[in-house]
């Protein structure tokens, strides 16, 4: 898929940074680049973000560009929608994705539908950032992975970076997009390090997956934290089974071509995503390859995710439900 935000950049100029720094850099660059961009959310200003992502931006850009909101997700999500419809480019932060439910009317019936219902006579350039995922012992109301709801709902775009570079490039594209984009950050990836292009014009088109590691035997389609886990699994299995690891990056639109191309090569696929297993990203990936590459499939496609539970508090329980490299490895071994 082509987007008007696609620009050329120098891929050789990179710096090592964490996912958190990559996201912050994307926000800083876009705040600098376009006066219509502003951030708002709970504790994003003074406090610097509850997980430190927006740290420093309030001091750099001031309280009109980085706005601390009252604790009222429906109110400020709706204000973001109204602002986007009238010429602003708000970046709304929902502190934990579990709180998105509080704002859902404005997401479902206003943000997602206004452009269509108005016959295309408004744009909706809003970005919603939120954190997902378990692993911190934060229990069920601060650990969910809800991105499939938004990938499923017509009128919204949904992306999930698996690497720091993807985080920077996708977030910049999201902010420049005239459509509503949900940007899902897995909280356990904030410390993950990687090489990130420093060029301010580095953007990644929405709707493109990325082959992080080439392989011959099994395609692992992974998202967020599970990209790293799948790369670890690939290392462990190296010499025995050759894994091709794809960072899906964009949940909607979904890059069917890259998935099909990889499956045509390997004939086998594992889909690894931290959302509950039923009716989710996993199922959509499977359906797409069934529709487009059925005769290339040599073995049942395996799913790795959360077995339809909420995320429990006790580390002894949380570790049980959260998928990791070992789950990916076992899934590969079941089909090879």
Partner 1 sequence: MVTIDIETEDGRREALRRMLTIRAFDSTASDYFADGEIPGFVHLYIGEEAVGTGACAALEDQDYITSTHRGHGHCIAKGLDPKYMMAELFGKRDGYCNGKGGSMHIADVDAGMLGANGIVGAGPPLATGAALTAQQKGEDRIALAFFGDGAVAQGQVHEAINLAATWDLPAVFLVENNQFGEGTPVDLQHNVQALSETAEAYDIPGFTIDGMDITAVYEAVGQARERAASGDGPTFIEAETYRYRGHFEGDPQPYRDDDDVARWRERDPIETFKDRLVDRGELTEEEYEALREEAESTIEEAVDYARNAEDPAPAEAYDDMFAVPVPEIEQFADRMRADGGTR
Positions touching partner 1 (CB under 8 A) are 1-4, 36, 38, 64, 67, 69-70, 72, 74-88, 90, 105-106, 109-110, 114-123, 154-155, 157, 177-179, 206-207, 252-254, 291
**Is the Cβ–Cβ distance between 311 and 318 less than 8 Å?**
yes
Nearer to partner 1, 61 or 190 (CB): 61
Minimal distance, residue 335 CB to partner 1, in Å: 25
Instruction: Please identify every residue annotated as catalytic.
Output: 142
**Is the Cβ–Cβ distance between 203 and 2 less than 8 Å?**
no
Minimal distance, residue 86 CB to partner 1, in Å: 4
Spacing of C-alpha 306 from chain mean position: 17
Nearer to partner 1, 143 or 262 (CB): 262
Q: What is the rounded distance in angstroms from the CA atom of residue 313 to the CA atom of residue 232?
A: 26
Helix/strand/coil for 73: helix
Reported as type and span, the H/E element at residue 225 is helix 225-237
Nearer to partner 1, 6 or 18 (CB): 6
Reported as type and span, the H/E element at residue 124 is none
Minimal distance, residue 84 CB to partner 1, in Å: 7
Minimal distance, residue 125 CB to partner 1, in Å: 8
Nearer to partner 1, 98 or 318 (CB): 98
Minimal distance, residue 122 CB to partner 1, in Å: 4
**Is the Cβ–Cβ distance between 94 and 77 less than 8 Å?**
yes
DSSP-assigned letter for residue 228? H
Minimal distance, residue 85 CB to partner 1, in Å: 6
- CA distances 290 to 215, 256, 262, Å, are 21, 11, 13
Nearer to partner 1, 18 or 122 (CB): 122
Q: What is the rounded distance in angstroms from the CA atom of residue 191 to the CA atom of residue 187?
A: 9
Q: In this structure, what are the phi and psi dihedrals at residue 172, rounded to the nearest 5 degrees? A: -65, -40
Q: What is the rounded distance in angstroms from the CA atom of residue 281 to the CA atom of residue 287?
A: 10
308: number of Cβ within 10 Å: 12
Q: What is the rounded distance in angstroms from the CA atom of residue 248 to the CA atom of residue 224?
A: 9
What is the bridge-based pairing of β-strands 243-247 and 210-213?
antiparallel
Nearer to partner 1, 98 or 208 (CB): 208
């Amino acid at each position: 898929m082509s987007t008007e935000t696609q620009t050329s950049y120098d891929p050789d100029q990179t710096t090592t940074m964490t996912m958190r720094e990559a996201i912050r850099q994307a926000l800083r660059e876009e705040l600098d680049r376009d006066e219509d961009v502003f951030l708002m959310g709970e504790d994003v200003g003074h406090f610097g973000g509850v997980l430190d992502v927006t740290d420093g931006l309030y001091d750099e850009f001031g309280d009109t560009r980085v706005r601390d909101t009252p604790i009222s997700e429906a109110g400020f999500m709706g204000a973001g929608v109204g602002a986007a419809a009238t010429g602003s480019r708000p970046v709304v932060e929902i502190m934990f994705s579990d709180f998105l439910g509080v704002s859902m009317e404005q997401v479902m019936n206003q943000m997602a539908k206004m452009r269509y219902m108005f016959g295309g006579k408004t744009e909706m350039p809003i970005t919603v950032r939120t954190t997902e995922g378990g692993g911190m012992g934060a229990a069920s109301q601060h650990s969910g992975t809800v991105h499939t709801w938004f990938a499923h709902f017509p009128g919204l775009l949904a992306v999930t970076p698996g690497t720091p570079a993807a985080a920077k490039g996708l977030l910049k594209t999201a902010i420049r997009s005239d459509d509503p984009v949900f940007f899902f950050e897995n909280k356990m990836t904030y410390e993950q390090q990687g090489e990130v292009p420093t060029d301010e014009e580095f953007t990644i088109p929405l709707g493109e997956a990325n082959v992080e590691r080439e392989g011959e035997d099994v395609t692992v389609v992974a998202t967020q934290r599970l990209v790293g886990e799948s790369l670890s699994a690939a290392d462990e299995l190296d010499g025995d089974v050759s894994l091709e690891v794809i960072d899906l990056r964009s949940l909607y639109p979904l890059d069917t071509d890259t998935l099909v191309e990889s499956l045509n090569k390997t004939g086998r696929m594992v889909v690894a995503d931290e959302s509950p297993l039923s009716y989710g990203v996993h199922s959509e990936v499977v359906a797409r390859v069934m529709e487009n590459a059925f005769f290339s499939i040599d073995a049942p496609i395996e799913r790795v995710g959360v077995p339809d539970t909420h995320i429990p508090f006790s580390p002894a329980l949380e570790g049980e439900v959260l998928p990791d490299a070992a789950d990916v490895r076992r899934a590969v071994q079941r089909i090879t």
